[in-house]
Amino acid sequence: MSTTKKVTFTAVAVGIGLVALSACGGSDSGSGTSDSKSVTLVSHDSFNVSKDVLRDFEKRSGYKVNVLKDGDAGAAVNKAILSKDNPQGDVFFGVDNTLLSRALDNGLFQTYQVEGAEKIKPEFRVDADKHRVTPVDSGDICVNYDKKYFAEKKLAPPKSFDDLAKPAYKDLLVTENVATSSPGLGFLLGTAAKYGDGGWQDYWKKLKANGVKVVEGWEQAYNEEFSGSAGGKKAKGDRPLVVSYASSPPVEVLYAKPQPKEAPTGVATGTCFRQVEYAGLLSNAKNTKGGKALLDFLAGKEFQEDMPLNMFVNPVREGTKLPALFTEHGVTVDKPETLDPKKIADNREPWIKSWTSLVVK
């Protein structure tokens, strides 16, 4: 879980039982003032929500929401773990399936089951016995390509992991550091799922020989290095391939003026890894009652329906309607790469260490 422009990869929605938010907290656990009139959400840089939707929550609940954006998801999770005894906020959003075991093993969250939990699609539910995290959104981490570049070069865009290592795509791909970025880590896990324990290192040797560029986070990769980004703060980069999301093309349409009939970017659907993002009530949160209300909001209908065109991810709540722009210009990935969460937990750290030694150093 988690595009600036401000594209934000987040998810899940809104409005369940907000009228009774005072009851959502149940009995408060942890220290702190449960009657505080403000609640703080700590997240990665891509969190976004419509102002009117957030105001609606604040009006109904009586809580003022402070949003603290704390870098790329990987860095934000690491900071949250280091500060868990004196957390920066009450709720953390943006820990995904690539980092979830790290957060749970370090005791980052306390138990809370959101109102309407039964409406979350079963395939996204985890930690069912303790309810330390709530699924908020899902998305597919995939290589995106700049259509104009490939048309001008009369070169077919890549379709698969194998294609990216071919000489035709030398010096074209930019990706994120797997140690600091969840999309970067997701892309690594996609290659591990594709090529297996004994094959992904050889694949990355080929990518390195083929000129792959590594930067620290998604914002830098997409908005500074990628040639197809229309909404970056800085001048366009010169890399027509970037590790991003299957839902990135609708972003380009939404932020272009005038809006084009077709997205200027495409998705290599044979390079995708399924990502799920979660939120949880932080251990030692000062306002547990407000934190629980905020989690109910993130899992509710209003926020879930607002999310696709703000964070460009898929809602996890059953029956949530997707906007036409999202479905028309987004890409459905039928067979993304996946890995068992236990395999990720057992191998993530040694894989990151091996990848860093192989690709960065």
Compute the average pLDDT of residues 299-319: 94
The pLDDT assigned to 35 comes to 52
Give dist(CA 80, CA 344) in Å, integer.
20
Compute the average pLDDT of residues 308-319: 92
The pLDDT assigned to 330 comes to 85
* CB proximity list for 101: less than 8 A, separation 6 or greater: 341, 342, 344, 345, 348
Give dist(CA 23, CA 9) in Å, integer.
30
The pLDDT assigned to 257 comes to 83
* Position 61 pLDDT exceeds 80: yes
The pLDDT assigned to 28 comes to 37
* Position 2 pLDDT exceeds 60: no
Q: What is the DSSP string of 198-216?
A: TTHHHHHHHHHHTT-EEES
Residue indicated by tokens 């979350």: 120
Residue indicated by tokens 């065109």: 309
Confidence tier at 19 by pLDDT (50, 70, 90):
very low
Compute the average pLDDT of residues 4-15: 31
Neighbours of 152 (CB within 10 A): 10
The pLDDT assigned to 235 comes to 53
pLDDT digits (tens, 9 = 90+) for 329-342: 988 898 999 998 88
* Position 3 pLDDT exceeds 60: no
Asked if residues 137 and 1 have their Cβ atoms less than 8 Å apart, the reply is yes
The pLDDT assigned to 231 comes to 57
* Position 11 pLDDT exceeds 80: no
* Position 148 pLDDT exceeds 90: yes
* Position 75 pLDDT exceeds 90: no
* Position 276 pLDDT exceeds 90: yes
Q: Two tokens at 59?
A: 């009006």
Give dist(CA 10, CA 8) in Å, integer.
6
Burial of 162 (0-12, 13-18, 19+ CB in 10 A): middle
Compute the average pLDDT of residues 227-231: 81
Mean pLDDT of the chain: 88
The pLDDT assigned to 177 comes to 96
Confidence tier at 216 by pLDDT (50, 70, 90):
very high
The pLDDT assigned to 198 comes to 85
* Position 220 pLDDT exceeds 50: yes
Of 3.30.1330.120, 3.40.50.2000, 3.30.43.10, 3.40.190.10, the CATH number of 140-274+328-360 is 3.40.190.10
Would you say the CATH fold of 140-274+328-360 matches that of 18-138+275-324?
yes
* Position 233 pLDDT exceeds 70: no
Which phi and psi (to 5°) does residue 192 adopt? Answer: -65, -40
18-138+275-324: CATH topology is: D-Maltodextrin-Binding Protein; domain 2 (3.40.190)
Compute the average pLDDT of residues 163-190: 95
Peptide bond into 261 cis (omega under 30): no
Confidence tier at 327 by pLDDT (50, 70, 90):
confident
* Position 20 pLDDT exceeds 60: no
Confidence tier at 12 by pLDDT (50, 70, 90):
very low
pTM of the model as a whole = 0.75
Confidence tier at 176 by pLDDT (50, 70, 90):
very high
Compute the average pLDDT of residues 39-54: 95
Give dist(CA 229, CA 240) in Å, integer.
9
Compute the average pLDDT of residues 63-77: 91
Which letter does DSSP use for residue 356 in this model? I
The pLDDT assigned to 243 comes to 98
> What are the boundaries of each domain within the chain?
18-138+275-324, 140-274+328-360
Compute the average pLDDT of residues 133-151: 97
The pLDDT assigned to 303 comes to 97
